[in-house]
Amino acid sequence: MPLAPGTHLGPFEILAPIGSGGMGEVWKARDTRLGRIVAIKRLHGQHGERFEQEARAIAALSHPNICQIFDVGPDYLVLEYIDGRPLQGPLPVEEAVRLAIQIASALEEAHGRGILHRDLKPANILVTSKGAAKLLDFGLAKLTAGADSTRTIDGTISGTPSYMAPEQIEGKPCDARSDVFSFGTVLYEMLAGRRAFEGMASVLRDDPKPPPALESLVLRCLAKRPGQRFQTITEVKAALESAASAKAAEKTPSIAVLPFANMSRDGDDEYFSDGLAEEIINALTQIAGLKVIARTSAFAFKGRNEDIRRIAEALGVTNVLEGSVRRAGTRLRVTAQLIHATDGTHLWSQRFDRELTDVFAVQDEIAAAIAGALRLKLTGKPATGRPHEPNLPAYEAFLKGRHHSYRYSPEAFARAEDYYKQAIALDPQWAGPHSALGYQYFLLGGVGLHPMIEMAPLARAEARKALELLPSEPMAHAVLGAVAALHDYDWKEAEEHSKLVRASESLPPEVQDFYALFYLLPLGRFEEAILERVKAIVQDPLNARWRARQAFTFLCAEKYELAIVEARKALDLDDRSFWPHYVIALSYFSQGKLVEAQERAEEACRLAPWHPAVVGFLAGLRAQAGDRDLAEKLLATVPATKPVGMAMYHLVCSEIDTALDWYERDIELRQPTAALLASAGFHKPLRASPRWPKLAKMMNLPVPAPE
């Protein structure tokens, strides 16, 4: 029966035409039963049981940016009626990014349920009167063979030519990356106001002209080969959110202090030039309303002849400070220049020729000059009001200790410890070296280089001494809170120190890391921990460690796809780190993908053969794969003093009672891994055991309801 205004289709009164397309025609209608306005899509031809099954699956999607399907008939769909207009470009970058994040979020929901759209294009996206994007027309959507599968059930050629992925045009199996390609064509059109491709041949043959903004993001979506694109729409959304954050940051005064060039004759003076730049970073954090990039990210460009504008773009800042240091006997020459990143103009520059003992005054003068140039208020105390001004030999020893600490190796840690002790001997009234040494001791126990049961008293003593000298020292409180949590299992004391830490006006990322990793995470307060990590990443965006820790937080919270995305970001920044590989391996394991988990675990073990949990995890995967001989060889390398390795092995092998035996030993030895992993998603089998309440009580942790 042909449709026309006034006719009925079952209980639906047809009101007016909305549009038509290859799959059918769409009408505005009234549901006479419920008295609501709906959209009726009348499909061309009859559709079988399989179509109805898929339509009902899509109807189960519930997302604010997806047009709902209310019902399905033999040849029609009943849809949510949307008062809106089709998506059109060009749009301002901020608006395009805002809508693109909503569209990506809708696709993320569909992909998470194993549904591919396969016909993403501007005409299938409406923008409501309230400015929200609504993704519609899942008429070509296909269920994957399972929520974790990547291939569609068939390989038919369907879609709109200019927006189809190359593999879709060629009739090859499609997966989520095909929708990523189509998403890229939509985003391109939103930014450029024109299509990226004109027809099938163009998609297969041509590279589009760069869009006016977000060039690398868009072109990565539009890579011809699926393996060169973003691998999930979640990755695309994360990249868009980063772009949005960077755009917002442009409206806030922000600065990165690059490592100062060492112009001294002695190359070993590098510790001093680096230290001066870091001290200026610390001083700038006292300027109200100024975003200051942390040391690790700013120093990522050391030794690289990069354009200032590229550096500023990578760090998301509006201003860059660069300079040089020359030491000659007791004389010090410092040059500094503040550069506006957008156009490369110099806002301020100056040369300081002083006695070496005036180094602290130089630091404060530079900070005050920057505040003046940016018309901001310097809220920190000037040099004459410092809590304690150390003598020069102590200051130099402290800078040398910090210089080695950043190198993050057993040998460097040992040298850092020696230099901090020298600084304390040279100036016992200075809190800084005590706080740094306390952090160093806790780190030695945390990474497993020394037993935590030996390191905890040393870390506690140094942190307390630092607070005697300077009660507001945030890192000292952070160390005491971490020791209270992971060693003493005293969560009340840990909470008190956390409150004192967070009372500080400006927190370095290391302090935020302690709060998130050693207090929030063991208590299962994942969302709060994730937010703390976001703050640290904004301060220090190129620090692979914070990305890896965020990935671990997502893993513990059972957000496995996000964990994989964040771990890959960490590897993009530092491919020498074992931790991101380990997080990806655990994420795959938690999803039942044992082959993929073993591949990543092998890489993690290659990079960190000394880490007991990594070795135990790989041994368990090997045993599950039937390679018991290699599993036993791996286990032979795990010392009995580090039970977490054996606990992980037996957990992977589903030998829960034996895993709990080793886990209990971990608790008795006060190893930080015990409390740290108590709430982790992959420890569910341990928490399901009737023995868990006893173990939770040993750590003074609440016993959760059965999962």
Domains of the chain from N-terminus onward: 8-81 (3.30.200.20), 85-246 (1.10.510.10), 254-386 (3.40.50.10610)
Q: Which residues contact 470 (CB under 8 A, 6 or more apart)?
A: 387, 388, 431, 435, 476
Average pLDDT over residues 507-513: 84
Q: Which of 232, 240, 199 minimizes the C-alpha distance to 95?
A: 240
> For a pLDDT cut of 70, what percent of the chain falls above it?
90
Q: At residue 22, what is the residue type?
A: G
Q: Is the pLDDT of residue 188 over 90?
A: yes
Decide if pLDDT at 153 tops 50.
no
Mean pLDDT of 109-130: 87
3-class DSSP state of 133: strand
Q: Both tokens of residue 273?
A: 């030039």
| pLDDT classification of 109: cutoffs 50, 70, 90 | confident
How large is the average pLDDT for residues 327-354? 86
| Best CA proximity match to 459, nearest among 450, 570, 143, 567 | 450
Write down the pLDDT at residue 318.
86
Question: What CA–CA distance (Å, rounded) separates 364 from 279?
Answer: 9
Supply 606's token pair.
């290659």
Structure token pair of residue 64: 């604010």
Task: Tell me the range of 83-92, 236-245, 420-429 where mean pLDDT is highest.
Answer: 420-429
The pLDDT confidence band at residue 118, using thresholds 50, 70 and 90, is confident
By C-alpha distance, which of 499, 544, 546, 548 is closest to 519? 499
**Three-state DSSP class for residue 4:** coil
pLDDT at residue 1, rounded to an integer:
63
Give burial (CB, 10 Å; 0-12/13-18/19+) of 74: exposed
Supply the pLDDT for residue 29.
Answer: 94
**pLDDT over 80 (residue 369):** yes
- The 3-class SS string of 275-298 reads HHHHHHHHHHCCECCCEECCHHHH
Residue 99, both tokens: 């809508």
Tell me what the pLDDT averaged over the chain comes to.
Answer: 86
User: CA 50 to CA 329: how far, in whole Å?
Assistant: 84
Output DSSP code: residue 26: E
Say what the pLDDT of residue 432 is. Answer: 93
Q: What is the rounded radius of gyration, in angstroms, for the C-alpha atoms of the chain?
A: 29
CA 437, 442, 445, 451 torsion-angle sign: positive
Mean per-residue pLDDT, 487-491: 96
| 3-state helix/strand/coil string of 484-541 | HHHCCCCHHHHHHHHHHHHCCCCCCHHHHHHHHHHHHCCCCCHHHHHHHHHHHHHHCC
pLDDT band at residue 147 using 50, 70 and 90 as cut-offs:
very low
Instruction: State mean pLDDT over 164-182.
Output: 91
Of 462, 460, 510, 512, which Cα lies nearest the Cα of 486? 460
- The helix/strand/coil state of 177 is helix
User: How far, in whole angstroms, is CA 577 from its chain's centroid?
Assistant: 16
Cβ neighbours for 603, distance < 8 A, ≥ 6 positions apart: 578, 581
Residues 550-564: b if buried by 16+ CB within 10 A, e if exposed: bbbbbbbbbbbbbbb
Number of helices (H), then strands (E), belonging to the chain: the values are 30, 17
Strands 291-292, 254-257: pairing kind: parallel
Q: 295 - beta bridge partners?
A: none
Query: Strand, coil or helix: what is 321?
Result: strand
- Whose tokens are 């959110």? That residue is 241
What is the average pLDDT across 10-25? 81
61-75, 318-332, 600-614 — most confident range: 600-614
Rounded CA separation 46/65 (Å): 29
Collect all residues with Cβ–Cβ distance below 8 Å to 269 and sequence separation of at least 6: 262, 325, 327
Is the pLDDT assigned to residue 70 strictly greater than 90? no
Q: Calculate ∠ Cα 19-86-154, nearest 5°.
A: 75
Q: Which of 31, 119, 179, 540 is catalytic?
A: 119
> What one-character-per-residue DSSP string does 423-478 give?
HHHH-TT-HHHHHHHHHHHHHHHHTTSS-HHHHHHHHHHHHHHHHHH-TT-HHHHH
Beta bridge partners of 142: 116
- State yes or no: is 353 an active-site residue: no
What is the DSSP pairing of strand 133-135 with strand 125-128?
antiparallel
Angle of CA points 544, 546, 548, to nearest 5° = 70
pLDDT at 151: 37
Beta pairing class for 36-43 and 12-21: unpaired
Tell the burial category of 116 from Cβ atoms under 10 Å away from its Cβ (0-12, 13-18, 19+): buried
311-325, 347-361, 677-691: which is most confident: 677-691
